[in-house]
A = this chain, B = another copy of it.
């Protein structure tokens, strides 16, 4: 096998946001060279990668030129130019995950069709070319409220998703190709991060439970391990494993699920990369999702996903009414909290609800972790 560690091996990463940053830090532990492509020269990965290439990861020639001198290419964001990745792969470059699988996942319509075709539980859905088709069908009575509209492409962090409850909501449907799906009565939102290595080895991280902030539609608390019955955890894990196998997927896949009151699980959607719901793995689990991604795509044995210490992860979001040069207010007080691990991504400009960092609170007693998380949530403010 070629030597990847402490060598001239070059790993390319499309995207230099916080997920890219944490991946480069994991690579640094093994002395692996990372080349990052991002439109911003001050992206979070800029100071941590071996070399930053400034450019648009949606541009065919930029991605192709970036990749052709590297040994392997992976992603930290799925909205990238797939044609360039397909061409690179056809020329023998190692590209993980496979761009054809990315094509299925980054189009939520194709994703839902894949679930349906392969017998994976997901909410009922219909695909539409435009928002007007939806309006017409509501008018004709063929569709009834409420439902959830999702753009087929480029949604993230709650963007590209709309809950349609009233006639008023119909006036500002999302514009473009979309799908609508049944609004599920959600008891809990769950996430399983699963890794499948290029050798076919599979390991799941412990199930996590996500509590959303209803205003920002962003995760507020992420709790690991999830407070659900063992049978639910086993069922969720099996779903995630069956899914990566059905996809013949290589790398980290984040599988977001809905749990209802009767312990039924539906797949909500997946992300073909490391994920916000796996940040806590850095300190809470034996192997982080970032190290696991490297192990999976390098063909190394997957690392242990055993729990070290229970944790609650909170995102550090820009306050609603501030935009400008970032200031962290209340930081000292929060740094006193035992077991709070601070991750500041390095975005110099804060915006409302922008993800500026995250904090993982470790505590053997998950109730105490929760109290600490609430304290930090109240006291740490990202202002300008």
Q: Flag if B348 contacts A300 (CB, 8 Å).
A: no
Which of A79-87, A251-259, A302-310 lies at the binding interface? A302-310
**A346 within 8 Å of B (CB atoms):** yes
Q: Flag if A343 contacts B306 (CB, 8 Å).
A: no
Chain A 289-318 against B: per-residue CB contact (8 Å), 1 yes, 0 no?
Answer: 000000100001101101011000000000
**A268 within 8 Å of B (CB atoms):** no
For window 43-82 of chain A, which residues contact chain B by CB distance below 8 Å?
44, 47-48, 50
Q: Which residues of B contact A335 (CB under 8 A)?
A: 295, 300-301, 303
Q: How far is the CB of A33 from chain B (nearest CB, A)?
A: 8
Q: Flag if A5 contacts B331 (CB, 8 Å).
A: yes
Which of A22-30, A112-120, A153-161 lies at the binding interface? A22-30
Q: Which residues of B contact A348 (CB under 8 A)?
A: 6
Q: How many copies does the complex hold?
A: 2
**A212 within 8 Å of B (CB atoms):** no
Q: Which residues of A contact B (CB under 8 A)?
A: 1, 3, 5-6, 21, 25, 28-31, 33, 44, 47-48, 50, 286, 295, 300-301, 303-304, 306, 308-309, 326-328, 331-332, 335-336, 338-339, 341-348, 362
Q: Which residues of B contact A25 (CB under 8 A)?
A: 25, 28-29
Q: Flag if A328 contacts B31 (CB, 8 Å).
A: no
Q: Beyond the given A6-B326, A33-B47, could you list 4 further A-B residue pairs with CB under 8 A, ordered by the A residue number?
A: A5-B328, A31-B47, A31-B346, A300-B335
Q: Flag if A1 contacts B344 (CB, 8 Å).
A: no
Using known A-B contacts A50-B47, A335-B300, A335-B301, determine if residue A29 contacts B286 with beta carbons closer than 8 Å. Answer: no
Q: Flag if B5 contacts A339 (CB, 8 Å).
A: no
Q: How far is the CB of A323 from chain B (nearest CB, A)?
A: 15
Q: Which residues of B contact A346 (CB under 8 A)?
A: 6, 31
Q: Which residues of B contact A339 (CB under 8 A)?
A: 286, 304, 306
A305 to B69 alpha-carbon distance, docked (Å): 44
Q: Which residues of B contact A362 (CB under 8 A)?
A: 286, 308
Those 9 A-B pairs whose CB atoms lie nearest each other, nearest first? A31-B346, A301-B336, A304-B338, A31-B344, A30-B344, A300-B335, A301-B335, A47-B50, A6-B326
